[in-house]
Structure 1
Amino acid sequence: MPDRTGKSRRFVTVAVIGTALAAAALTACGTSPDDGQIRVVASTNVWGSVAQAVAGDRLDVVSIVTEPSADPHSYEASPADAAKISDASLVVLNGGGYDGFVEDVLKTGTPKPTVDAFALHEQRTGAHADDTDDGDHAGHAHGSVNEHVWYDMPTVDTVASAIAEQLAVLDPDGADVYTRNAETFRTQLRTVSEITASIAAAHHDTPIAQTEPIAHYLIAAAELKDVTPEAFTGAVENGTDPSPASIAETRQLLSDRQAATLVYNVQTEDKVTRAMRDTAEAAGVPVVEVTETLPAETDFVTWQTQTAQSLADALNGAS
C-alpha cells in the first residue's frame, strides 16, 4: 500500500507460504550470537509487545518500527535495522508482505528462527494470500485474506505460543517461564474476545463503514457488516484516489446514517479520509480510531481492549 507521499505499498502476494513455511517458522534451529546473548527482534512494536509479554523479565525485545506515525508497509530498513535483524536469535514478523523490509533482510542472510504471524494465520485458517482475485488489497475488506492479523485474537494467541516454543529452544532454562507467560497472555486476550462477542450479540450484522480495512478481523469477530464500497476502501488501501462515484456513495452512507459507525485509520489519513470523517461527525455518526502500530506508553492487550471497547461504546451510543 503506498504511503501518502505516493510510495508503493502494493500487497506482496505470498504464493508458497502456507503450512510448510509456518512449520519451518516454528521448527527452524538457530544459534544465539557469538556473545551468547539471546536477541529477539520484532518488525513492529505490535508484535514486539506480544513477544515481550512471552519473554517477560528474562529477555528484552527490540522492535524496529515504533513510531506511532510510521507506516510499516512502506518502511525501509536502515543499515542499523538490518544489522539488528541479521544479529537476532529470533525474528517475529507480521509477514504477508506487510513488513517486507524484514523479509528482504532475512532473504539475504543465514536462515534463523522466525515466527511469521501471517503464515501461522494461514495455517490456522486454511486461507491463503493468493485466494484474492487480483493479488492486491482491493477485496480484503469484504471477506478475502487480509494481512492485518494482529486484530485477529486467535492468531495472536497462536503467535504467542509459537514465540514461547522458539524461546524454549533458545533458552531451555526459561522454558517453563515462557510457557506460563504465553498462557497468561492467552487469558488476557479473552478480554478482547469477550468484548467482540458482546458486540456480536447486541449488534449482529449492523452496518458500519471503514476508511480502509485495517480492523477487518475485529469487525469480523464482532459480526458487523462492512457496507463501504470496495472501490473506496480498495483505493484508499492502495494509496490511489477513489473514484468520484465511490466517494459520493461513501459520503451518502455516512450523511444518511446508513452506517452505525466509521472505523478510521488515523495513521494514514489524507484529505479524502479526513473529508469522510468530517461527514460522519457532521451527521452524528461516531468515529472509532484504529492504528497499525502501538500507541505510546501502552501494551498490546490494553491497546486492543481499548479499541474493541471503543467500537462497543460507539455502537451502543448509536443504537
Structure 2
Amino acid sequence: MPAWRCGGDDVTWTYSDTIGCACAPTSRTVPHGRSRCSFPLQYALVIITNSVFVADLQELAVPTFRPRRTLAGIAGLSVAAALTLTACGSNPGSDELTVVASTNVWGSVAQAVAGDHVEVTSIITEASADPHSFEVSPSDAAKISSASLIVYNGGGYDQFVDNVLDSDSDDRAVVSAFALFEDEHGEADGHDHDHGHSHDHDHGHSHGSVNEHVWYDYLTVAAVAQAVADELAELDPSNADSYRANATTFTDELAGVTAIVDGIAASHVDAPVAQTEPVAQYLLDAAALRDLTPPDFLRAIENETDPAPAAIAATRALLTDHQVQILVFNTQTQDRVTQDIRSTAEAANIPVVEITETLPEGLDYIQWQTRTAQALADALAAPQ
C-alpha cells in the first residue's frame, strides 16, 4: 500500500496490511487513483482491501460506499482489523458518555434508565437479523469498542459483542444480562460476574442446556436496569440520582407485567402448552404453564435443522388431539416446519400466541412485554 501524503506535518497517516486510515485534522486534498478527493475536518479516508470508504470520525466509520459482502467475505478483514479503524478514528479526548446495546431489547432497557441524559445505540434493530450469527461491521465494531458502557445479553446469544471485546484490550463498563441471570438464580459457574468496570472474558460459552433468552426472565431484566443505573451513576456522578430514579420507575412498571403473569399462574396453573422454539420459556415458567413440546423438536428448530419426522408428528398430535391449550409461536424463525405447526393449530382452533426476539416497531420493552403477557392471558382464557 503506498504511503500517501496529504501535505503538512500535522497530518497523521497510519495503515495496516488490510486497513489504511488517513486522519486529517484540517481540510486536505488526498490523491486517490486518478482523482483527487477533499475530506473536511472530521473525516478520514479508509481503505479496506480494494474498497474505499469515507468515514466520519465523530460517527465512527459511516461508509459512503459499502460493497455488498458480509464482513466474513472481505478478504483479510477480521474484528481485530475493524478495531484498527477504531483506533485511528476515535477521539480519545472526548468526554461524551456513550452507551451501546447489542439489540434493541437491551437498548430499550438501557434507554429507560439513561433517560434524556444519554442516547443509547442498539446494534441490532431489525427483526430479520439473528444475533447468534450476526457479523459485526467495522462501523459497529467501532461503536462497541469506543462505548463508555456496553449492555448485552451474553450466554453466547450475541457472541459478536464478545468477539469485539476479546479483540480490544481496553477495560470498560459492561453489563451482561446472562451473567446477572446466573447471579439471580444461583447458577454462577464460579467466575466473578461483577458487572463493574472491565470485560473479564467470561462469556458463558459452556452453559449446557441453559436457555439464553433471559429478557423473558423479569427478575433478570430488573437486575439489568439496576446494573445500568449503577454503571451510569459512576460514569456520570452528576446525574446519579436521576439514573437510579429511572431504574426504580422502570422496575415499578415491570411489576405491572409481572402482575399479569402472576394472574395467569393463579388461574391456569399447569395448563398444557406447545411452542415452536423455547424463546419465551422463562415467561411460560413464571406463568406456571406446562410445555408438552417434544424436546427433540425444540432442539432441532433452535439449531436451525429439520426435526425428525417422529418429533414433527408428535408435535402435530398435541394440536390435532387438543392436548394443549395454546401454541406459542416465534415469528422471527419461521420455516416450513413451524408454519405447518401453526397451520395445524389454527385448523384445530388452538389459539396462537406470537412472540418475538426483538422489539416490534414503535414499542419499548415494557409495552412489548405487557402486550405479550396479556396476549398469553387472553389466549388461555379463550373458550376451548
Same fold (TM over 0.5): yes
Q: Paired residue for 2:336?
A: 271
Would the aligned equivalents of 1:33 and 1:88 in 2 still touch at CA under 8 Å? Answer: no
**Matching of residue 37 in structure 1 with residue 96 in structure 2:** yes
Deviation at 1:159, TM superposition (A): 0.3
2:333 is paired with a residue of what secondary structure? Answer: coil
Is contact 2:155-2:207 (8 Å) kept? no
Rounded to whole Å, the distance in 2 between the matches of 1:71 and 1:293 is 10
Q: Which residue of 2 aligns with 1:27?
A: none
| CA drift at 1:34 | 2.6
SS of corresponding position for 1:303: helix
Structure ranking higher on relative contact order (CA contacts 8 Å, 6+ apart):
1
Deviation of 1:129 after TM superposition, in Å, equals: 7.8
The answer to whether structure 1 residue 198 and structure 2 residue 263 are counterparts is yes
Counterpart in 1 of 2:165? 106
Q: How far apart are 1:195 and its partner, in Å?
A: 0.5
Q: 2:143 aligns with which of 69, 72, 84?
A: 84
1:79–1:252 CA distance, 2 compared to 1 (3 A): same
SS in 2 for 1:267: helix
| Greater fraction of residues in strand | 2
Q: Report Cα offsets for 1:272-298 as digits up to 9, x if no partner.
A: 000000000000000000111111111
Q: Is the 8 Å Cα contact of residues 33 and 87 (structure 1) preserved in structure 2?
A: no
Partners of 1:57 and 1:127 in 2: CA distance: 35
TM-aligned CA deviation for residue 127 of structure 1: 2.1
Match of 1:312 in 2: 377
Q: What runs of 5+ residues in structure 2 fail to find an aligned partner? A: 1-90, 191-205
SS in structure 2 at match of 1:77: coil
The answer to whether residue 314 in structure 2 is matched with residue 239 in structure 1 is no
Identity of aligned residues (%): 58
Could you tell me which amino acid in structure 2 is paired with residue 259 of structure 1?
V
State the match for 1:172 in structure 2: 237
How many angstroms apart in 1 are the aligned matches of 2:284 and 2:307?
22
Contact 1:260-1:285 at 8 Å conserved across structures: yes
Residue type of the alignment partner of 1:154: L
AA partner of residue 285 (structure 2): A
Cα deviation, 1:95-116, whole Å, max 9, x if unaligned, reads 0000000010011111211000
Code of the aligned partner of 1:85: I
Q: Which residue of 2 aligns with 1:69?
A: 128
Runs of 4+ in 1 over 6 A off after TM superposition: none
**Structure 1 residue 160 displacement after superposition:** 0.2
Partner of 1:252: 317
Greater mean alpha carbon deviation, residues 78-87 or residues 33-42:
33-42
How many angstroms apart in 2 are the aligned matches of 1:247 and 1:224? 21
SS in 1 for 2:332: coil
Residue 9 of structure 1 corresponds to none
| Matched residue, 1:122 | 182
1:60 to 119, 126, 131: 119
Size of the alignment, in residue pairs? 279
Q: Is the 8 A contact 1:39 1:90 kept in 2?
A: yes
Q: Secondary structure of the residue that 1:92 maps to in structure 2?
A: strand
CA, structure 1 residues 81+287, in 2 after alignment: closer, same or farther (shift >3 Å)? same
1:221 partner letter:
A
Q: Which runs of 5+ in 1 are unaligned?
A: 1-31, 140-144
